[in-house]
Amino acid sequence: MNTKINKSILFRHLGLISYAQAFEFQSEVFNTIVSTKITNRDLDPQLQVATSNYLIICEHPHVFTLGRSGKQANLLLNSLKLQEISAEFHQSNRGGDITYHGPGQMIAYPILDLDNFFTDIHQYMRFLEEIVIQTLANFGIIAGRIKGLTGVWLDYEHQHNPRKICAFGVKTSRWVTMHGLALNINTDLDYFNHIIPCGISDKSVTSIEKEIGKKINVNEVEEIFLQKFEEIFQATIEI
């Protein structure tokens, strides 16, 4: 384990970028951090190099992605229909099932060396959920968790009409994370009709726009999200 703890997080905003390009960028950063950790393992503590942490935010053009544990049957379209709605499909090495990404959705990809924070993947997921929950509270939206299900949900207590507003899917190796979360802001929710979101057929999806009845500036959501990320992880985000 590296004895040099680094709680600074480098922020990168990639704008509207294809899923494949964002994955390539993520992978390069992820592999560099893992490589540093492997090299540090054989060095004297005084010679070890602090590992970096990154937080990437972006949007994707219409795309459906399937996680390692997902079923392709949850994609309700063939390749021809995908072309008709200008969408792509990608297999992913993240956890989870199928989900949709598109314009008006905030994608956050934290690439963190958890040795700089804590080595507990369950705590990591709860922290990400809490950041989203507190971000949504700024817009008057009360959200929370449903036991046994990933994501951040509305009507999570009584569940008369439970609906997911944020999906999660991550990968970790040597305590380095990649992939992350997708928060629906002004998202075209019709695209979710083409899948069984996260393999869950009896619950719906929603967005900030749908819940409060008006479009929200995505930058405003991102600003609050970054603030909450710093607070929850007790880190410094370098913009």
Active site residues: 198
| Residue 28 CB coordination number (10 Å) | 11
Q: Which of 50, 47, 51, 209 is nearest to 136 (CA)?
A: 209
User: What does the chain look like in DSSP terms, one character per residue?
Assistant: --S----EEEEEEEEE--HHHHHHHHHHHHHHHHHHHHHHHTS-GGG--PPP-EEEEEE-SSEEEE-TT--GGGB---HHHHHHTT-EEEE-SSSSSEEEE-TTEEEEEEE-BGGGT-S-HHHHHHHHHHHHHHHHHTTT---B--TT--SEEESTTT-SS-EEEEEEEEEEETTEEEEEEEEESS--GGGGGGB-GGG--S-EE--HHHHHTS---HHHHHHHHHHHHHHHHT-EEE-
